[in-house]
Amino acid sequence: MNPIELARYFDHTNLKLDATEADIEKLCQEAIEMGTYSVMLYPTGVKQASTLLKGVTPMVGTVVGFPSGRFSSASKQGEVVEAAKNGAAEVDVVANYPALIAGEPNLMEEELKLLTEEAHQASMKIKVIVETCYLTDGLILDALKICENVGVDMIKTSTGFGSDGAKVEHIQLWKNNRTTHIGLKASGGIRTLNDAITLIEAGADRLGLSAGLAILNELKTGEEGTPAAGY
């Protein structure tokens, strides 16, 4: 895989709590230079990123109900509407996975049905974060079934704020059990070229990361760098 091909898997991400407008501008410029699929940032940065990336390849994505998912369905719906208004092409929604853990999967499904319809009406893709680090394998498969039932575009492992990030075995579990064309996104803790390639080989269609530049440099030079801690 060459750098151009690898970069197209990347959602180039800045979800730092202290991110500034200058950081968003830098994120967008790096995404253009790398040729990533998208940038991923907080809702308040969407309008700025949409302006900076108008007419170029990287799309703009943002998060909804982030990072806990413990928000009302109405508030998440409002975030989806606002994201579309400000120019986002994709939303990464944190599911109500606590309801799944509590044995109430219908609550998670009802909410995701509402949000998927809202996103698709606005011509946005929706990726659903289920925070796999807190789920058993059985619940990870239940989450996949729910996401397939409501027609989300991708299911995603992690926020990067949980107790762990993307795991190869979870991507493989989804790949081996999906019954639709739902996409798979790995995120959280992807720091090296080996991390990225291993997850892609396991079945990931997209990678959420902040270490894209270091990973591409490693591919070009063969020397592993030391990317700063982050998403």
The reply to whether 76 belongs to the active site is no
Helices (H), 53-104: 73-85, 97-101
Closest CA to 170 of 191, 198, 146: 198
pLDDT digits (tens, 9 = 90+) for 91-131: 999 999 999 999 999 999 999 999 999 999 999 999 999 99
What pTM was estimated for this model as a whole?
0.95
pLDDT at 222: 85
Task: Provide the strand spans (E) within the chain.
Answer: 10-14, 38-41, 59-64, 90-94, 125-129, 154-156, 183-187, 206-209
Domains, the chain, in order of start with CATH, read 3-221 (3.20.20.70)
Question: Which of 153, 167, 185, 195 does the annotation list as catalytic?
Answer: 185
Contact 212, 12 (CB under 8 A): yes
- Inform me whether the pLDDT recorded for 230 exceeds 80: no
pLDDT digits (tens, 9 = 90+) for 163-190: 999 999 999 999 999 999 999 999 999 9
Judge whether 127 counts as a catalytic residue.
Answer: no
Query: Per the residue annotation, which of 11, 76, 92, 142 is the catalytic one?
Result: 92
Average pLDDT over residues 16-27: 97
Q: Is 47 a catalytic residue?
A: no
Let me know: does 52 contact 30? Beta carbons within 8 Å: no
